Structure 1
Amino acid sequence: MTSIDRLTNLCPPPPTAPSTDWPSIEQSLGMTLPTDYKQIADTYGPGAFCSFIHLYHPHATTPWTSITGSMPSTIRTQLQHDRDSGTYPVPHDLRHLFVMGVTDNGEYLFWVTEPANAPEKWTITANEARGPQWYTYNGGLTDFLTAVLSGQETVPCFPDGLLTQGVSFTPTPPTTIDTGPQPPTSTTADTNDIRAWARANGYDVPDRGRMPVAIVDAWKKARNQ
């Protein structure tokens, strides 16, 4: 049984997922992506595992969760600032970190891209949201997800009750077009997208619950909505 088979047996994917022109995506990124990531993206599409772990995807509905969006460089800049200011130590060479996922609490998932020309050997690391802790998994993304979702691997900065409601994958709803006035706190985006944008732009946002109106309004203005 392959790694992707073990993952899909544990966490069934949706019936369909969008296809991706991977050569074009890799050309735009300037690097070859791990095969298992591409298998996950092709099998599940954009969405969240256990309503918590969001992998960046070429077909994400916003640039804040897109694998080709601005977040990888934005997060690398933030980490460099943290290192330079002595805020939080980073136990990896920043040149070899590429963010490819985020949790609902604001932890980021990275590939440790060493060796750069051997993506099948890349490992996974995650940082604590607003804290100094880092976790590293000595394996690829599919095996990491399978280990975490099966309970075989515990990520210290993930919540203890991650698997309380069972293992699931929830596809991201497609972006819809507004047809009329909306309440101030209404948005068609996934709340996690707004959290990711807000944190990348220096806002202090809650881990759960309704987003503050001011932050939602700022997010809309940034998107010219």
Structure 2
Amino acid sequence: MDANLARLTRLVPPPAAGRNKDWEEVRRAVGADLPADYKEFIRTYAGSYWDDYLYVLEPGCPNRHYDLLALNAHAMEDLEGLWEYEERPPRLEEPGSRLIPWAVTDNGETAYWLARPGVPADRWTVMVNEDGDRWEHADTTCTGFLFAVLTGEIVCDLFSPHYFPLPEHRCRRLDGAGPAGMTPLSPDTA
């Protein structure tokens, strides 16, 4: 198991089973292989809602609002529209660089993988945007980022510090449409 995912599972125990995916089909849809730690995360937690704030997207999520494939299909188009009015982040100036969304928040922030040419998926880092010209970069994987923001090792100024992370972590699996379509993952879920 990935070291960051192992730390995350000790912090917030996963359910008995996550969900399996056809990762080759996902690769074709996204146009890139996704990081191994993310694939392990989905097999462990599935698409999930963390501390009543952050949604980790899942390819083919039963809750269509958090389907990684659907959000990815429009992500670059939406960002290109944004960059008509806002400055493009310097990290994306390298030709062939792209952003792939892997998490969103209740307030509209999005966490992306920064996929750069020649960089293997397992070495992609994280960029967060608040739907404007403010960006933050974290030199870590998606599971490393999630663990670090939950424990305070990384403070993402774009997230709402009054609401996230919670002192007692909560995690729910995304199963159906809306909050009623969530399944508790951890025993401390209210």
TM-score (norm 1): 0.70
Corresponding residue for 2:149?
148
CA distance in 1, matches of 2:167, 2:111: 22
How far residue 72 of structure 1 moved from its aligned partner, in angstroms, is: 1.7
Change (3 A) 1:24 1:73: closer
Determine whether 1:77 maps to 2:66: no
Asked if the contact 1:96/1:114 (under 8 Å) is kept, the reply is: yes
How far residue 59 of structure 1 moved from its aligned partner, in angstroms, is: 3.7
Change (3 A) 1:16 1:107: same
How many residue pairs align between the two structures? Answer: 174
Poorly superposed stretches of 4+, deviation over 4 Å: none
Find the residue that maps to 1:68 and give its secondary structure. helix
Corresponding residue for 2:92?
93
Corresponding residue for 1:178?
none
How far residue 159 of structure 1 moved from its aligned partner, in angstroms, is: 1.0
How far residue 15 of structure 1 moved from its aligned partner, in angstroms, is: 2.4
Q: How does 1:102-141 map to 2 (within 5 A)?
A: 102-116=104-118, 118-129=120-131, 131-141=132-142
CA distance in 2, matches of 1:97, 1:21: 22
Determine whether 1:68 maps to 2:60: no
Asked if the contact 1:108/1:127 (under 8 Å) is kept, the reply is: yes
In terms of Rg, which structure is larger? Answer: 1
How far residue 116 of structure 1 moved from its aligned partner, in angstroms, is: 4.8
CA distance in 1, matches of 2:88, 2:63: 28
Q: How does 1:1-225 map to 2 (within 5 A)?
A: 2-69=3-70, 71-84=71-84, 86=85, 88-91=86-89, 92-93=91-92, 95-116=97-118, 118-129=120-131, 131-161=132-162, 162-172=164-174, 174-175=175-176, 188-190=177-179
Change (3 A) 1:117 1:152: closer
State the Cα deviation string for residues 62-106 of structure 1 (Å, max 9, x = none): 44321222x22323212211212x2x2230428411112211111
CA distance in 1, matches of 2:106, 2:154: 19
CA distance in 1, matches of 2:149, 2:119: 27
2:92 partner amino acid? D
* Structure showing the higher strand proportion among its residues: 2
Asked if the contact 1:113/1:119 (under 8 Å) is kept, the reply is: yes
CA distance in 2, matches of 1:64, 1:170: 15
How far residue 127 of structure 1 moved from its aligned partner, in angstroms, is: 0.4
How far residue 166 of structure 1 moved from its aligned partner, in angstroms, is: 1.6
Find the residue that maps to 2:78 and give its secondary structure. helix
Greater relative CO (CA pairs within 8 A, separation 6+):
2
CA distance in 1, matches of 2:56, 2:38: 9
State the Cα deviation string for residues 175-208 of structure 1 (Å, max 9, x = none): 3xxxxxxxxxxxx4349xxxxxxxxxxxxxxxxx
State the Cα deviation string for residues 128-152 of structure 1 (Å, max 9, x = none): 14x4211100111111111100111
RMSD: 2.1
CA distance in 2, matches of 1:22, 1:190: 27
Q: Gaps spanning 5+ residues in structure 1: where?
A: 176-187, 192-225
Corresponding residue for 2:187?
none
